[in-house]
Copies of this chain bind each other. A is one copy, B any other.
Amino acid sequence: MALIVQKYGGSSVADADSIKRVAKRIAEAKRAGDEVVVVVSAMGDTTDELIDLAQQMTPLPPSREMDILLTAGERISMSLLAMAISSLGVEAQSFTGQQAGVITDEVHGRARIIDVTPGRIQAAVDSGAVAIVAGFQGVTQHTNDVTTLGRGGSDTTAVALAAALEADVCEIYTDVDGVFTADPRIVPSARKIDRISYDEMLEMAASGAKVLMLRCVEYARRYGVPVHVRSSFSTHTGTLVTDAPDEEGAPMEQPIIAGVAHDRSEAKITIVDVPDVPGKAARIFEVVAGAGVNLDMIVQNVSVASTGRTDISFTLPASDGAAATAALTEHQPDIGFTSLQYDDTIGKLSLIGAGMKSHPGVSAKLFAALSDAGINIEMISTSEIRISVVTRADQLDEAVRAVHTAFELDSADEQAVVYGGTGR
């Protein structure tokens, strides 16, 4: 008998019929003999509708009130799901983040979990019931106020509960069959990855793969929680994220390359004609950091000897573009640059694989593949298990396909059915 934590996102519980379908899955898992704890998000568009209502009240709602408002969404989905499971003859009880013991700091809107004390959940499971827990929410330690965990919050709730309950596995149900070697909407021949290490999954998430949020993977790695990413629209085995040996006891199978991720959400700022003297680059990044912006890749051109000046480029989330540009322009006099170029028509491709550590020539092969496809590389950055390049945005899809093929990631057959969606 295993203890399984299952997490269902908003698209899996979008309407009454979806909730009933999910309830059946849960009841089946329970009847098969497992102990089941379920984490659930708000139904489909509920959160957007609530945000819209708040915007009608005031453009800048107080964050404490916003959290109270948004957490109503999970109360609705969790109680409906408990009802649907009960109607199948399986006992189910729903619990708020507070009742489930999800304790957070006091940063409303993007609180971090500081402790999980799931006494009531354990008691419900011990009594033979399915415990349904509201995702995305917690409660502050001292003031007993409701908080939300921000983006990816429900996945994080599920992994945190799995860690606290010492669950055998945390199943993240989504509308795709698992983690793929590339986004199947761009690369129809992308393959589902059966097993992937935490480190590789972290790099995939950080590089734009949207199936799991970075934060949730970090939590899973820290506590060694095996995460099974799978579809709520099929019964296929999905992708297991773990560092554990496989069933034959062999250490994790480690192909050279795990997959190709892409990201369209970044922009590039080029600062033109910066005096090439010590301390100028530091000053620039100080100014940008002061605006609360996180940089990603950075390139400094070779200085032009005749002028003693150089250009510095960096990438950042496009959503931070305005803040960074404003801060830099304000400090133009003391930094002393000539002009500033903002470009949000870039794309980032990342090749990820723990195996590349011990295999030389991966970068060379990557650059050759892009060159053969006629794609220009604008920036490059690397980690031990990742190489990222910036291209023009309109060449990104072609770049992903070329690299995917060059590293022999293509499946023999194109995936017949990849995306779930309603009934698919």
Nearest B residue to A82 via CB reads B65
Verify if A78 is at the interface (C-beta below 8 Å from B): yes
User: Which of B16, B76, B86 sits near A72, CB closer than 8 Å?
Assistant: B76
User: Which of A72, A83, A84 has the most chain B CB atoms inside 10 A of its CB?
Assistant: A83
A391 within 8 A of B: no
Q: Which of B64, B84, B94 contacts A58 (CB 8 A)?
A: B84
A415 sits at the interface (CB 8 A): no
- A62 nearest in chain B by CB position: B86
- Contact digits for A107-148, partner B, Cβ 8 Å, 1 yes 0 no: 000000000000000000000000000000000000011000
Q: In the complex the two chains form, what is the Cα distance from A53 to B53 in whole Å?
A: 20
Number of A residues, CB within 8 Å of B: 36
A79 within 8 A of B: yes
Partner of A84 from B57, B68, B80, B144 at Cβ < 8 Å: B57
| Residues 133-173 of chain A, each 1 if its beta carbon lies under 8 Å from chain B, else 0 | 00000000000110000000000000000000000000000
How far is the CB of A132 from the nearest CB of chain B, in Å?
9
A134 smallest CB distance to B (angstroms): 9
Residue A325, interface by CB 8 Å: no
Interface of A is mostly: helix
Chain A 38-69 interface mask (CB, 8 Å, partner B; 1/0): 00000000000010011011100110111011
**CA A82 to CA B145, docked complex, whole Å:** 15
**CB-based contact B68/A54 at 8 Å:** no
CA distance A57 to B71 in the complex (A): 21
Select from chain B the residue with minimum beta-carbon distance to A16: B56
* Cross-chain contact B76 with A69 (CB below 8 angstroms): yes
Q: Known: A58-B83, A62-B86, A86-B58. Contact between A68 and B53, CB under 8 A?
A: no
CB pair A69 B79 closer than 8 Å: yes
Neighbouring B residues of A64 by C-beta, 8 Å: 93
Instruction: Check: A230 CB closer than 8 A to any chain B CB.
Output: no
Q: Does A338 belong to the interface (CB within 8 Å)?
A: no
A57-B19 in contact given A62-B82, A68-B94 (Cβ < 8 Å): yes
User: Does chain B have a CB within 8 A of A75?
Assistant: yes
Query: Quick check: A72 and B72 within 8 Å, CB to CB?
Result: yes
